[in-house]
């Protein structure tokens, strides 16, 4: 499986993402600059965390204007797995690939620590490596991770089982119903604030995030072998 790690000016988690795919999974991966106009050679698209374009205007707003985002939208429409982490999640909401928005943390402070996540939905292509309601340890590092959506959208997220991760205890950032990660209705676009790419080896504090990346690869291989 071949992954693209999209790099915007200000991305700072692209190295972590690249390491998780290349060194821990042993899969193909390339950095792709924000002005790229073709992602057709890639099987999965990864949008890393950081401060794209300095987080000017709104987090992810300027990144959404990059050439590559029209290609990310095409990849999503084609059913390819798209994963946006932290700033990548913000970009996905700006692009309309995921509903809702990310607001300033409730305490108005940047937060950087490991938190407990609950796997609410383990039936997505990103989470089959987990048990339902499993508690995992994943780092967060954000100032604007407070997920918000209106009541109608929240009802739809619940009805379609689109809420994938919740903070296991009271949400650290004020997110509505402690939401930490959601998928689109089709189930191939995941956005989450915590950083699984920073939890892929015990030497860096834990490996609970590795199952997410393994799940993507497993699903892709099963799909392509079955259609071969």
Q: In the predicted model, what is the mean pLDDT of residues 65-77? A: 93
pLDDT higher than 70, residue 30:
yes
pLDDT higher than 90, residue 227:
no
Query: Higher pLDDT residue, 215 or 10?
Result: 215
Flag the least confident range among 56-70, 144-158, 183-197.
56-70
CA distances (Å), origin 13, targets 19, 49, 195, 198: 10, 5, 9, 9
Three-state SS letters, the chain: CEEEEEECCCECCHHHHHHHHHHHHCCEEEEEECCCCCCCCCCEEEECCECHHHHCCCCCCCHHHCHHHHHHHHHHHCCCCEEEECHHHHHHHHCCCCCCEEECCCCCCCEEEEEEEEECCCCCCCCCCCCCCCEEEEEEEECCCEEECCHHHHHHHHHCCCEEEEECCCCCCCCHHHEEEEECCCCCEEEECCCHHHCCEHHHCECCCHHHHHHHHHHHHHHHHHCC
Extract the tokens encoding 127.
């989470």
Among 59-63, 152-156, 221-225, the range with the most confident prediction by mean pLDDT is 152-156
What is the Cα–Cα distance from 168 to 57, expressed in whole angstroms?
31
Closest to 165 (Cα-Cα) out of 200, 194, 143, 145: 194
Query: What per-residue confidence (pLDDT) applies to 77?
Result: 97
Q: How confident is the model at residue 217 (pLDDT cuts 50, 70, 90)?
A: very high
pLDDT higher than 90, residue 53:
no
Mean pLDDT of all residues belonging to the chain: 94
Q: Each residue of 165-208: pLDDT tens digit?
A: 999 987 789 999 999 999 999 999 999 999 999 999 998 889 99
- So which residues are the catalytic ones? 86, 195, 197
Percent of the chain with pLDDT over 90: 86
Query: What per-residue confidence (pLDDT) applies to 191?
Result: 98
pLDDT higher than 70, residue 46:
yes
Residue labelled with tokens 């392509």: 224
Residue labelled with tokens 């970009």: 91
Q: Are 5 and 31 in contact (CB under 8 A)?
A: yes
Residue labelled with tokens 């956005």: 191
Q: In the predicted model, what is the mean pLDDT of residues 111-133? A: 97
Closest to 101 (Cα-Cα) out of 165, 38, 145: 145
pLDDT higher than 80, residue 58:
no
Query: CA quadruple 44, 48, 52, 55: dihedral positive or negative?
Result: positive
Q: Are 129 and 208 in contact (CB under 8 A)?
A: no
Q: Each residue of 126-135: pLDDT tens digit?
A: 999 999 999 9
Q: Each residue of 97-110: pLDDT tens digit?
A: 999 999 999 999 99
Q: Which domains does the chain have, with CATH numbers?
A: 2-226 (3.40.50.880)
Question: For the whole prediction, is pTM greater than 0.75?
Answer: yes
Query: What per-residue confidence (pLDDT) applies to 60?
Result: 85
What is the Cα–Cα distance from 84 to 172, expressed in whole angstroms?
20
């Amino acid at each position: 499986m071949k992954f693209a790690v999209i790099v915007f000016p200000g991305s700072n988690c692209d190295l972590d993402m690249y390491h998780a795919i290349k060194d821990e999974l042993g899969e193909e991966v390339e950095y792709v600059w924000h002005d790229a106009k073709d992602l057709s050679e890639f099987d999965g698209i990864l949008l890393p965390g950081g401060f794209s374009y300095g987080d000017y205007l709104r987090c992810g707003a300027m990144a959404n204007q990059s050439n590559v985002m029209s290609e990310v939208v095409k990849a999503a429409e084609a059913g390819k797995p798209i994963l946006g982490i932290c700033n990548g999640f913000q970009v996905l909401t700006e692009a309309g690939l995921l509903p809702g928005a990310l607001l300033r943390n409730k305490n108005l402070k940047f937060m950087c620590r490991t938190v407990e996540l609950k796997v609410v939905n383990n039936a997505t292509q990103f989470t089959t490596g987990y048990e339902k309601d499993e508690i995992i340890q994943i780092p967060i590092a954000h100032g604007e991770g407070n997920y918000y959506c209106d009541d109608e959208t929240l009802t739809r997220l619940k009805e379609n089982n689109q809420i994938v991760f919740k903070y296991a205890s009271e949400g650290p950032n004020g997110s509505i119903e402690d939401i930490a990660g959601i998928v689109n209705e089709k189930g191939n676009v995941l956005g989450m604030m915590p950083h699984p790419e920073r939890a892929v080896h015990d030497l860096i504090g834990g490996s609970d995030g590795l199952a997410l990346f393994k799940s993507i690869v497993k699903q892709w291989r099963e799909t392509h072998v079955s259609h071969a």
